[in-house]
Structure formats: structure tokens, C-alpha cells
Structure 1
Amino acid sequence: MGSTQNLDSDTDESTSKNVHSQRTESISGFVMQRIIRSGFSSIFLSPDNTTSRPTLSLDFLPCSVKIEASTNQGLLLCTHFPPTYRNIPKVYVCKPTTKQWKQIPNPKTRYRNKAIGMIVLSSRPLHYKIVRFSQPKFRTDRDSYRFNNLRCEVFDSKIHAWKQLKEVILYESFIGFNPSVSACGSLHWLTFGCKIFAFHVKEEIYSMISLPEPVRKNYHQKIMMLGEFEGNLALICKEEGERFMELWIIENYDRKIWKKKQIVNFEALTKELPYIILTGVCNANVALRDGIDKLTFFNLKDGRTKPLRLEMGFDVVETFSFESDFEPYVDESVLEDSRGNQEQEN
């Protein structure tokens, strides 16, 4: 984003991001979200102390929102749920570092959201897609065998509209509420069946990726999390009770070849944080939780740690990786400045 070269919609965003990061100021870290009485609240935490920019927040949006997805290029997908039950939610795409936002049309909100992800395909001009998987609110006994069949809808910023694709036949469920992970032009979710569900956004097709064979052993005794590491799809794996974790990457995405990148020894760290919980992965940094108010950033490349103390009672339910520059988009049809943005009529 913000690179001086023009990019068309087929440009590989990971390449442009590497060039861009060398030219302009950027920030990376995690957006942590919790449920509060009035809805949702979020904070941004970063191990990067080099930026002089102010703390990021979503106060510039016209209402309180729930974060649904993040991208590696600074965009967040958010929804606002009006207090009245029958009111239709509003959907926003925003860039917190520049306080730009735009309301986009709603998908079919009568169906329950199962998983959602967003990916930037190019920066100049900005082109992104949102992929949403949902299930009908009610199913009869007759069609209960189709429980893991998911509706698939895609929002394309080029046409500013949603379209429905063929149903996804999924024989296993996604794990928990983990946000999608964007890598190699695709969105990824862990499943309960020792596999990764991958949606290839450009082709608008999906596939299943098997986990490395050593990881599949004693699968249910391991804590795992997906992320991106040096442009590759990465898997962090930690067995319960062990004081080390493994970093695996797919070094050949087309052939789905896994490689164990490194083993991280937590012996010293676990003496201070005995109840480590993997919380998020952003580039080379892993966020580790210990209780409600303790957070530690661990850098996979140099082993450095940075402890932080969260607000008391900040009980995080979702953690989103976040990377962004501070350059505004100039195409007002895609994102507008918060001071001049007008909401769309439903």
C-alpha cells in the first residue's frame, strides 16, 4: 500500500507489501476484542516502538462496531448491530491508521454467520474481497445431514456487491472463533479434522490442506494456531504440558509441502508465565496470554520478549493480526475520509 508503482488487480500483494514496507512508515501488532455490556470493545497492542503515531482506535466510525476480519494491508471489516432486534446490521470497511471508512451492502443476514474473512488483492487501485460462510437459522430433521454444507457469499469491491457461489460441502467444523488467516492469496481456517480449510479468492474455489504428519499425531492434545510468517502460511504448534513450540511453514504452497522452520524453547519464559495461551501470530511476533491481564510478545526471529499488562478485566474473545501503513487512499469510491463520509441508506 502506498507504493509509487501502479498495481493492477492481478498483482501479488505480498510482493508489493515487501517493497512498500521499505519505503514508508508502518505498524504491526494485534487488535484484541472483548464483549462488554453495550456490545464490543477493542484495543490495539504492538511490540513496535519505532512509530510516533497515536494509539489506534475505532472512535472515528459513526457507531460502535464488532470487528469481523482484518487484513495484512491495514483494512478491518466491522459490523454494527442496532439495539433493536429486527434492525438490519450495518457493515463497514475501514482503515484505522488514516480514519477512512465506507459502509458496504449487507450479505444475506437472515443466515447465521459461520466464518468470514477479507483479503486485499491489490493496493493501487484498491481491490479487496470478503468471503462469508453461513448456515440457515433453522434446519429440519430431513435435511440435518446437510449440517456442514455452508452457504458461500463473496463481496467484490470492484462491483461493490455480493454474489452467491455454490454451497461448500464441509465434513468437519472450523475450530472455535479463530479469525481467518490470509497467506499466498488465500484465506485459511483450522478445522477439527486435522486439516486446514483454504478458500482461494481469485479462483473462488476451496480445498483442504492436511497438517504435517508429525502434528497429526496426538492432535487433540496440541494447541495450534495459523499465521503468516515471511510470506508463507505458518502453523504454530504447542503440546499441552510441553515447554516448547514448533513453527511449521508451507514452503511450496502449490504442492503443499510443509517444513519445520524452528523449535522454540519456552523453558525460561514458562517460569514467569506458567499458563501460556497462544493468542495470535503477526509476522514474526507471537502473542502469549497468561491470565486476564498479562500479555507477552515473543519474537520468533530473535527470541526477544516484551511483556505488557492489559486493562484489568479485558477478557479477550478474539485477537486479530494487524499490519498497516499510514498513507490514505485517494480513490473516494473505495474508502472515504471519515470527515466527509456519508452513510448509505439501507
Structure 2
Amino acid sequence: MDSKLNNDLKIKILLRTSLKTLDAMSCTSKEFEKLTYHPHLINLFKKRNDIVSGIIVETNNKSENYINEFAPSSGSKYIDLSFLPHNARIKASSEHGIVVFETSDSKSYGLNSYYVCKLATKQVLALPNPKTKYLTQKVAIIVLNSNPLHYKIVRLSRPVYPISQTQDKLYTAYRCEIFNSRTWSWKLQNLLKLPFRVFPTYPQPITARGSIYMLLTNNNILKFDAYSEIWSIFLSPVSDHRGYEFRQLVKYEGRLGFGCKRLDGSWEIWVLGINELWKKINVFGEDEDVNARKRLNEVHSSTILVYNGSTFDKVVVTDIRSYKFFVYRSDFEPTDLTGKLE
């Protein structure tokens, strides 16, 4: 039906929606999906609907304190994160405004360790504690529905025996706990078994279309389907990673993407389609025109590939190993974090 509407009318319709409705409308048709991620509409939408977007930068200053600061994207407001406890360690973020953080500040937040928070509205809600005696390795949050709010949190931790042996076969084992906001409880799955000496890589997991993805050190991709709660592994688009200087999962127009830099300095951008088939959408060489390079930089910065302070106006990054980065997007509407009242 929307194909009968011109783009100007479609943009006017989308600009009058809420952030929740915008995300829902992007799934109704290819035309609306393409417009939803167009830079022109995104900039207009942020201004008209008071949307904040950018990157959360967490710094470990080699003490018990963690410094969390927000680096806004172009045209976005700045949000002050100083209300968080002094030792709050952000574990995961979503593009629906919700983050997960961990703290041991018992004076301010009681005996709980894990919390969900909407940073833009300063709403904080304690979660039941997972098995915190096991060292956390990866945390991801995925929003499955925005009204009423429904989300799941996946926590991977190393058991006391990180490398296990069964029938002479070695494997890397992770404990997996899943928090479901509808049951308000954690559920322990069976051990997640990966090939021997294979681990999820940095940075943070990518969430797209109901699934969580992590790039593994053997160049394969680990997938968690948040609806079925089933883990699977599939191939990345690059079979031989030795010909590439850099590889990383990215989020490209709402879908899972894969960015890799060749040894000759050029870049490849791939997008995952149906049946987990990869499609190469762009190759950027050193001699590309200005617009192509600008587009690459937009993809680069929006997916947390940060090498120095040039990406941020307020944060200077001198040693990337001391920082963690989380993409953040939110409105300023209060949210019932339990999902019961919306």
C-alpha cells in the first residue's frame, strides 16, 4: 500500500510517530525500512521527537571507580551519567534506551548486583542476582517488544572448569544464564560448548532482528535466537581471515553486518540476508570519492570502531584497551522497566 505514496509523504508520516512506532513501521515494508535508516530522516526525527543517540564510553581508571560518559552523535543532546553509582560497570545496552549495569555499591543500591536502567530518564530497577561468583565474560540485552516492554538478558560466564573434557574431546565451556522480564527471573541453560580454544571476541555483541550475535576467534559467528533460546554457529563471509587486517560485526540498517579491512587498506561491508546468506554491499578503496569515504566513516563510527579521539567531541581516547563502548538511543519518555503498566 505504501508504494503509492511518494517519499515526502512517507517521511512526514514517519516524523509524526514515536520511537517505538518508528521501529515497528520499519518492519512493515522494504520502502519504510529503507527510509527509516536514511540519514536525512534520522536527523529530522531526532530534532522533532527529542531523541538522544550516541555512544556510552566507559573508562576504567585502574581503581574501583568507573567513569561513564556519553558521546552524542551529530544533532543529539548530551545526557549526564553522573547519577550512576561511582563503580557502576555497564554490561550491555540496547537501542531502545535500556542498559544493564553491575555495581557493588551496597549503600546506595542495597545488596543487588545487576540493574536495568533507562539512562535518559534516570530510571533504575534492581534485577535478581545471577550467579555472580562466576566471572562474567559477555552480557547482551535484547528488546523483543516495546509495548508492553519485554526484554531478555543473556549472561555468559566461565565456570570453575573453563576447559572441559568428555570422551577425549576438548571444548571451551561457558555457563549461560538468561533473564526474562516477563518471568522476572534468571534461567540457567546447559553449558554452551565452543570448539577448543575458541572464544567470543571484543567488542560487544550485536543484536538484530530477535537474535544476538558474537564473532568468534575462529572467524565463525555465534548466534542466540532470543525467541527459541537456541544457540547456533554459522560462517562469516570471510573464509580466510589471514588476508584481512581487521574484522568486526556491525549493525547495518537494522540487520547484522560484517566489516573487514583488507591488507591493502580497502574495506568490505557485508550484510546478512535470509537463510544466513551474506551479500557484499560495498567495497571502499583508498581512492574512493568523498561521499563514499564519508559513508564508510558513518558506518565505522556508529558501530563503535573507535581508534582515537577524533570520533568524539567530548571524549579523548588515548588507549582503546582501557575503554568500552556501547551504542545508545532513547527518547525521554518514562518507561515501566517491568513491562507491566504499558
Give TM-score scaled by structure 2 length. Answer: 0.74
The aligned counterpart of 1:249 is 271
Give the distance between the partners of 1:88 and 1:132, measured in 2 at CA. Answer: 19
The CA deviation at 1:26 is 1.9
The CA deviation at 1:167 is 1.9
Give the distance between the partners of 2:126 and 2:138, measured in 1 at CA. Answer: 20
Aligned counterpart in structure 2 of residue 189 of structure 1, from 214, 232, 255: 214
Aligned counterpart in structure 2 of residue 28 of structure 1, from 43, 50, 53: 53
The aligned counterpart of 1:310 is 315
The CA deviation at 1:15 is 3.5
- Per mean C-alpha deviation after superposition, the further-off stretch among 318-327 and 229-238 is 318-327
Give the distance between the partners of 1:199 and 1:12, measured in 2 at CA. Answer: 22
Q: Residues 123, 135 of structure 1: CA spacing in aligned structure 2 closer, same or farther, 3 A cutoff?
A: same
Aligned pairs (5 A) from 1:1-346: 15=27, 24-38=49-63, 39-49=65-75, 51=76, 53=77, 55-81=78-104, 90-138=113-161, 147-171=171-195, 173-212=198-237, 215-219=238-242, 221-240=244-263, 242-252=264-274, 255-266=275-286, 285-290=302-307, 293-296=308-311, 308=313, 310-311=315-316, 313=318, 315=320, 316-329=322-335, 331=336, 333-334=338-339
More helix by share: 2
The CA deviation at 1:95 is 1.0
Residue 295 of structure 1 aligns to a residue whose secondary structure is helix
Amino acid at match of 2:104: F
- Per mean C-alpha deviation after superposition, the further-off stretch among 187-196 and 162-171 is 162-171
Q: Residues 313, 210 of structure 1: CA spacing in aligned structure 2 closer, same or farther, 3 A cutoff?
A: closer
Q: Residues 203, 41 of structure 1: CA spacing in aligned structure 2 closer, same or farther, 3 A cutoff?
A: same
Alpha-carbon contact 1:12-1:121 (below 8 Å) kept: no
Q: Residues 2, 125 of structure 1: CA spacing in aligned structure 2 closer, same or farther, 3 A cutoff?
A: farther
Q: Deviations over 1:272-314 (max 9, x none)?
A: xxxxxx99968x8355544xx5233xxxxxxxxxx74633757
Alpha-carbon contact 1:280-1:287 (below 8 Å) kept: no
Alpha-carbon contact 1:110-1:137 (below 8 Å) kept: no
RMSD: 3.8
Give TM-score scaled by structure 1 length. Answer: 0.73
- State the percentage of identical aligned residues: 28
Amino acid at match of 2:309: K
The CA deviation at 1:63 is 4.6
Alpha-carbon contact 2:142-2:151 (below 8 Å) kept: yes
Residue 97 of structure 1 aligns to a residue whose secondary structure is helix
Alpha-carbon contact 1:281-1:321 (below 8 Å) kept: no
Give the distance between the partners of 1:266 and 1:309, measured in 2 at CA. Answer: 29
Q: Residues 14, 79 of structure 1: CA spacing in aligned structure 2 closer, same or farther, 3 A cutoff?
A: farther
Residue 318 of structure 1 aligns to a residue whose secondary structure is strand
The CA deviation at 1:222 is 3.0
Give the distance between the partners of 2:269 and 2:317, measured in 1 at CA. Answer: 31
Q: Residues 256, 139 of structure 1: CA spacing in aligned structure 2 closer, same or farther, 3 A cutoff?
A: closer
Alpha-carbon contact 1:34-1:314 (below 8 Å) kept: no
Give the distance between the partners of 1:93 and 1:4, measured in 2 at CA. Answer: 19
Alpha-carbon contact 2:212-2:223 (below 8 Å) kept: yes
Amino acid at match of 1:250: L
Residue 199 of structure 1 aligns to a residue whose secondary structure is strand
Aligned residue-pair number: 300
Give the distance between the partners of 1:69 and 1:140, measured in 2 at CA. Answer: 26
Give the distance between the partners of 2:284 and 2:70, measured in 1 at CA. Answer: 26
